[in-house]
Amino acid sequence: MHEISLIKSILKTIEHEMEKCGAKKLNSLTLRIGTLTAVEPEAMQFAFNSSIEKTAMEGATLCIIETKLSGRCRECGTEFALSEFDSPCPICAGLDIKRLTGTELDIISMDVD
């Protein structure tokens, strides 16, 4: 369960942002999580709910957008969905692939009062 430590650091960022803009209450939070982060959405949800108990963020909802692995071939520029780590390019069979999505863990938006 690395979700607990992840959500704790995310919430620290949120707290900081809320302080900066003088927000009193967090209504909802949207995260984008890539498949390669090995984060379980359900575990993340659980970690989130237990971490915000008895804080200013209690009652907020968490929305998770999962992104699949995708990459771009450095040989021919084709962008495609990767099924696994070392999938070759479907066009030229090149193996020099730049990963585009799948490893991110971003805060997309937060709704505060």
Return the number of the residue (91 or 107) whose C-beta is nearest Zn ion: 91
CA 13 to chain centroid, in Å, comes to: 14
For the bound state, the minimum distance from the C-beta of residue 92 to Zn ion, rounded and expressed in Å, comes to: 3
Per 3-state DSSP, the chain is made up of helix, strand and coil in percentages (nearest 5) of 30, 30, 40
Return the number of the residue (16 or 98) whose C-beta is nearest Zn ion: 98
For the bound state, the minimum distance from the C-beta of residue 68 to Zn ion, rounded and expressed in Å, comes to: 19
Helices (H), the chain: 3-21, 41-51
Residues interacting with Zn ion, by CB under 5 A? 73, 75-76, 78, 89, 91-92, 94
Number of CB atoms found within 10 A of residue 10's CB: 20
For the bound state, the minimum distance from the C-beta of residue 89 to Zn ion, rounded and expressed in Å, comes to: 3
